[in-house]
Structure 1
Amino acid sequence: MGFWSRLVGREERSVNALENPTVPLSAGAEEIFAFFGLLDQRGHLPPVTIDAALCVPAVLGAVTFMSRTMAALPLHTYAGTEKRDGDLAMLLNEAPNAEWSSFEWRRYMWQQIFTGGRGPCWIERIGTKPVAIWPMDPSLTTVARVRGRKIYRFEGREYPATDIIDVPFMLKVNQIDAYGPVNLGRKAIALAIAMNDFAATFFAGGGVPPLALEGPLPQGADAFKRAQADINRAIEMAKKAGTPFFGMPPGHTLKAIGIDPDKGQMTEARLFQIQEIARIWGLPPVFLQDLSRGTFANTEQQDLQLVKHLIGQWAKAFEDELNLKLFGQRRRSLKVKHNLDGLQRGDFKSRIEGLARAINTGQLMPDEARALEDRPPDPSGHGGKLYIQGATVPLGTAPSKIGHNGGPTLDDDGKDPADGGKSADD
């Protein structure tokens, strides 16, 4: 029994159809949802793959934003507190191998992490020295534990965990497999896909919802199909001609079925899905272009939240993995660290005022402040010293010894009693 026939009520039934349990009286809810594109023909939400998920703008925005942001962070090598240049710094911050730039390598790795949950990379070494880093296809990589040791199998070879950079999105309980955000959030993403499909079907049909034909219907399946084809043809001709109406057989009407997108709060539902998808990656909604509740004040706060509670955490996970795999478990002062200062910059006025205050309170040298703004050192050579305002004195200094301008107080004869009675002119 066809869905359309049951929907319009035209089916060859016995007179006692109400008493016949084998004859359905109407289409089921799942078939109606499937007809509207909200369910597939198996009665489920649309299947979600990584490729299908990336067709949802909110998912694409989350993955591209996170991967590009993490890839753009400067990544430096330090020995203690001193920044070091050299081959390793070049591998991490410029080119990990002869084929990939540092940005493209890290962006590819983070894209795999923020979709499938894992983006392994192999460290090529000569002896113990890293000479290249190669990204691996996670769909062709398997992880196993052999004799208590974790190994990675890729393209017919086995690699020890000590040679693999691996930052999983979330480990499963077996400590080997990883959850991916697309899989974890598949129902929310599937609902967004279903609403996209419904909206596309609705507007592709000229905004005409599914219709049911009411009135005396032709007898016989073939006659009904011809009548249905005539009605469809009339609707298409009216749409192409731009006319507001088309003719109907006498005694017949077309009645819209289903939910009106406006009454079904389609716009609000799609907006909610953006917020729901943002939660999967922990992103503030403003970074998925959702400014429905954004103001100048809370948008700036969301910017701070991004660095403190999301980017900073993933940066720490990547730093620890690099430090472990590049330098070993018992490293001393060598370490790799991101520079998050660029993401934490405020507006120009606030930034300059903050730097000036740091210089005046002896926290930064002028040359250090200039370096933060990508400016050269002071050519006069005075920028390499710490300065403090003259009125600032050490705690415990007697007030009688301090003048109004921070200098020593002179006695009635104009002499400094703390300096053997010499006058200011001396």
Structure 2
Amino acid sequence: MKLFNFEIRRSEKRASPEDPRVPVSAENFLSYFGVQSGNLPAVTIDSALQVPAVAAAVSFVSASLANLPLHAYRSKEAGAERIKGGIQRLLNESPNPEWTSFGWRKYFWQQVFTGGRGLSWIERVGGNVVGIWPMDPGFTTVQRVDGKKVYKFGGKTYPAADVIDLPFMLRRNQLGVYGPIMLASKAIQLALAMNDYASGFFAGGGVPPLALVGPMPAGVEAVKRAQGDIKRAIDAAKSNSEPVFPIPAGYELKPVGFDPAKGQMTEARQFQVVEIARVYSLPPVFLQDLTHGTFSNTEQQDLHLVKHLIAQWASAFEDEINLKVFGQKSGGRYAEHNLDALMRGDFKSRIDALARGVQTALYTPDEARALDNRPPVKGGDVAYMQGATVPLGTVPVTTAPADKSGDNGDDNEPGTTGDDEPA
């Protein structure tokens, strides 16, 4: 371009982070400075489980939910009655000939807390439920056919009414799911990167990358020989467990990069435990993080676990069982977890609670004994109440002690005095 016979050249413009056309995301920003996101470890379910905090969270929550007794009941006017027979056996003992109830439900919950979805199909014969079988969510396709949800697995198509489906978090299309590992992929990626750094650092004997400082010998081959001499000296010191190795006069070794203490990697790794616990809504104490744990707040975290995590997921599973196994017209039948099982580890608290339940007529002695699989006793089917408990506004009835002094010589009738006046 010429202006007043002077040639003006447009200045060359290079992309920069300030350019609005350049996306400032983590990957693009790092690549602008030459850092490729491909250098960071990929996050999959298998790689995520290599992070101890993730493995502990998945194992703890899935086993805790699978450990809860699951019973079937039928509503009656006199109260709920436990159903005996097929449904009870499938839910609480063995859903099919290959799986125990604990194993089936633990596998189910592991899929929920890794990939984000637990699936099982219901086997029916003539309208009766005869088995419940786990499905691999990774090989299951969920889609809508004629407006209705269907599941394709193992070459078969199952209607939604025959599939127990519990997502961690549904997507907007109501078909796909968000899993906790995907939602926490960046935090898990950072944890994996720190694991790789730490393993590489300590695999090298705890020696960070070093730079040899001093007058360099002339020639490329001479530099390589000097570098080899230093490396052999370091290797010899490590193999012989010697803390000191010689350096040629006029040279010194300087570390390149940060060691774990200066890089505060310990604090960062502790923070990753809290981040992963946050994704699962799990108190950090259950991931063995007692950094800020005290006697009082640890006890409160235990209550938080039952009220805000276990109870909510147990309720979601119960609703899915009730809808898919018993149908919309359940006939008063329903399944329910027994959360009292969470107290089985605390013997004293459990015994105190059962004793209080018996003393307040909440349980009969036989009902309390049955919770610990103890046999009934004679008279144990009667509800008892402590004698000091009476309705308000009433006067306790007392019996006067009998007169043991014998005959006093009076012929008075009972209830009268010697003057024939009413007592």
TM-score range, shorter chain: 0.7 to 0.9
Q: Which amino acid aligns with 1:46?
A: P
Give the Cα–Cα distance (whole angstroms) in 1 for the partners of residues 308 and 179 of structure 2: 19
Give the Cα–Cα distance (whole angstroms) in 2 for the partners of residues 303 and 217 of structure 1: 63
* Aligned pairs for 1:8-407 within 5 A: 42=37, 45-80=40-75, 81-344=80-343, 347-378=346-377, 381-397=378-394, 399=395, 402=396, 406-407=397-398
CA RMSD of aligned residues (A): 2.6
In the superposition, relative to structure 1, how do residues 42 and 392 fare at CA in structure 2: closer, same or farther (>3 Å)?
Answer: closer
Q: What secondary structure, in the 3-state scheme, does the structure 2 residue paired with 1:143 have? A: strand
TM-score using structure 1 length: 0.81
In the superposition, relative to structure 1, how do residues 422 and 349 fare at CA in structure 2: closer, same or farther (>3 Å)?
Answer: farther
Contact 1:97 1:134 in 2 (8 A): yes
Give the Cα–Cα distance (whole angstroms) in 2 for the partners of residues 91 and 307 of structure 1: 25
Q: Which amino acid aligns with 2:384?
A: Y
Q: What secondary structure, in the 3-state scheme, does the structure 1 residue paired with 2:342 have? A: coil
In the superposition, relative to structure 1, how do residues 52 and 230 fare at CA in structure 2: closer, same or farther (>3 Å)?
Answer: same
Q: Which amino acid aligns with 1:387?
A: Y
Contact 2:343 2:350 in 1 (8 A): no
Q: Which amino acid aligns with 1:385?
A: V
Q: Which amino acid aligns with 2:391?
A: P
Contact 1:307 1:344 in 2 (8 A): no
Give the Cα–Cα distance (whole angstroms) in 2 for the partners of residues 322 and 105 of structure 1: 14
Q: What secondary structure, in the 3-state scheme, does the structure 2 residue paired with 1:342 have? A: helix
Deviation at 1:364, TM superposition (A): 2.0
Contact 1:77 1:337 in 2 (8 A): yes
In the superposition, relative to structure 1, how do residues 42 and 355 fare at CA in structure 2: closer, same or farther (>3 Å)?
Answer: closer
Give the Cα–Cα distance (whole angstroms) in 1 for the partners of residues 415 and 175 of structure 2: 79
Name whichever of 114-123 and 42-51 sits farther off: 42-51
Deviation at 1:167, TM superposition (A): 0.4
Give the Cα–Cα distance (whole angstroms) in 1 for the partners of residues 127 and 220 of structure 2: 78
Give the Cα–Cα distance (whole angstroms) in 2 for the partners of residues 267 and 182 of structure 1: 22
Contact 1:315 1:338 in 2 (8 A): yes
The corresponding residue for 1:18 is none
In the superposition, relative to structure 1, how do residues 373 and 157 fare at CA in structure 2: closer, same or farther (>3 Å)?
Answer: closer
Give the Cα–Cα distance (whole angstroms) in 2 for the partners of residues 219 and 301 of structure 1: 69
Give the Cα–Cα distance (whole angstroms) in 2 for the partners of residues 372 and 100 of structure 1: 25
Give the Cα–Cα distance (whole angstroms) in 2 for the partners of residues 93 and 361 of structure 1: 29
Q: Which amino acid aligns with 1:55?
A: Q
In the superposition, relative to structure 1, how do residues 220 and 52 fare at CA in structure 2: closer, same or farther (>3 Å)?
Answer: farther
Give the Cα–Cα distance (whole angstroms) in 2 for the partners of residues 223 and 130 of structure 1: 81
Give the Cα–Cα distance (whole angstroms) in 1 for the partners of residues 346 and 61 of structure 2: 22
* Equivalent pairs, count: 373
Give the Cα–Cα distance (whole angstroms) in 1 for the partners of residues 415 and 147 of structure 2: 81
Deviation at 1:302, TM superposition (A): 1.5
Deviation at 1:230, TM superposition (A): 2.7
The corresponding residue for 1:10 is none
TM-score using structure 2 length: 0.82
Deviation at 1:299, TM superposition (A): 1.8
Contact 1:40 1:46 in 2 (8 A): no
Q: Which amino acid aligns with 2:168?
A: F
Q: Which amino acid aligns with 2:358?
A: I
In the superposition, relative to structure 1, how do residues 231 and 120 fare at CA in structure 2: closer, same or farther (>3 Å)?
Answer: same
Deviation at 1:345, TM superposition (A): 5.2
Unaligned runs of 5+ in 1: 1-20, 22-29, 413-420
Give the Cα–Cα distance (whole angstroms) in 1 for the partners of residues 209 and 300 of structure 2: 45
Give the Cα–Cα distance (whole angstroms) in 1 for the partners of residues 250 and 380 of structure 2: 92
Give the Cα–Cα distance (whole angstroms) in 1 for the partners of residues 113 and 164 of structure 2: 16
Name whichever of 249-258 and 184-193 sits farther off: 249-258
In the superposition, relative to structure 1, how do residues 65 and 393 fare at CA in structure 2: closer, same or farther (>3 Å)?
Answer: same
